[in-house]
Structure 1
Amino acid sequence: MCPKATSAPKPTAGKPLHKFYIDYSVPAADNVFDPAAFEKFLQDRIKVEGKLGQLGENITVGREGNKLVLTSLIPFSKRYLKYLTKKHLKKNSFENFLRVVATSRDTYSLRYFKVDQDEAEDEE
């Protein structure tokens, strides 16, 4: 007989399963981006078990300095966080000059699009 396959250990009640960061320091320094509105948007739009805005104890969204921190006790996709961030940028008409870039395994960063100076010189 085959021994039973053991699954990964389940996280304890206090230990987060996922912790993601969104660094918005660049646009916040220029007073372009409102972090409070972004935090509220995420709290309202994150779906848990198919229901909007019902985060409960499983997911917490908060700010630490110039970073937004999402802590999840249940499985949560980093890609879903990027999707919601891009949706917020589009809603506030930031999608033309801000983009979402993965800077590390658990961090996204909001950056400006680079505009080549060479194009401006060629037009002159």
Structure 2
Amino acid sequence: MPTTSTLQATSSNNSLKKKKRKIILDCTEPVNISILNLKHFKTFIGLKMRYNDETENSEDVISVKRTNTKIIIFSDVPFTKRYLRFLMKSYFKKWEIAKLWKLVEIGPDSYAFRLLNLVTIKDIESKINEIYSDVNSNSE
């Protein structure tokens, strides 16, 4: 009997320790092509990140920081690559360039944006020019 109570106490002590997870999103390629505004993307991730089906609770558990070309997410709870891919697609969908990029795992907790092989830089530049011309014509 005493052994079971010590095992329970040990397991409860282990569950009290929170494991911090650090996830790195390498955004070098879209930043170099001037497609991605890293400051805006960081704000988008911080606002849209959900925990327990609420965005308001996420500040306590998830924090987002940025460097020159990387976004670093610190999390107390696990989340998947699928969720990061969803956030990336929803951000890029605004500019209709979501199908041009994919999220690739480059390490255990490191991901990078990669341009699809079917697309060239000229295709992206023409798409950006088309979008900007639409925006400029609507503002006039």
TM-score range, shorter chain: 0.7 to 0.9
Scaled by the length of structure 2, the TM-score of the pair is 0.68
Looking at structure 1, the residues matched to 88 and 96 of structure 2 have their Cα atoms a distance apart, in angstroms, of 12
- Structure number having the greater helix percentage: 2
Secondary structure of the residue aligned to 2:60 is coil
Q: Structure 2, unaligned stretches of length 5 or more?
A: 121-140
Looking at structure 1, the residues matched to 33 and 116 of structure 2 have their Cα atoms a distance apart, in angstroms, of 15
Matching residue within 29, 32, 39 for 1:29? 32
Displacement after TM superposition at 1:17 (Å): 1.3
Displacement after TM superposition at 1:70 (Å): 0.5
Work out the percentage of aligned pairs sharing the same amino acid. Answer: 19
Displacement after TM superposition at 1:67 (Å): 0.6
- Residue correspondences, number: 113
Secondary structure of the residue aligned to 1:41 is helix
Instruction: Letter of the 2:80 partner, please give it.
Output: K
Matching residue within 65, 70, 77 for 2:68? 65
Matching residue within 11, 16, 22 for 1:10? 16
Looking at structure 2, the residues matched to 35 and 53 of structure 1 have their Cα atoms a distance apart, in angstroms, of 22
- Structure number having the greater strand percentage: 1
Q: Which contiguous aligned blocks of 4+ residues in structure 1 show a shift greater than 6 angstroms? A: none
Instruction: Letter of the 1:21 partner, please give it.
Output: I
Secondary structure of the residue aligned to 2:92 is helix
- 2:66 is the alignment partner of 1:56: no
Q: Structure 1, unaligned stretches of length 5 or more?
A: 118-124
The structure whose Rg is larger is: 2
Q: How does 1:75-94 map to 2 (within 5 A)?
A: 75-79=77-81, 80-94=83-97
1:121 maps to what in 2?
A: none
**Cα RMSD (Å) of the superposition?**
2.4
Secondary structure of the residue aligned to 1:81 is helix
Scaled by the length of structure 1, the TM-score of the pair is 0.76
Looking at structure 2, the residues matched to 116 and 39 of structure 1 have their Cα atoms a distance apart, in angstroms, of 25
Could you say if the C-alpha distance between residues 28 and 53 of structure 1 is closer, same or farther in structure 2, counting changes exceeding 3 Å? farther
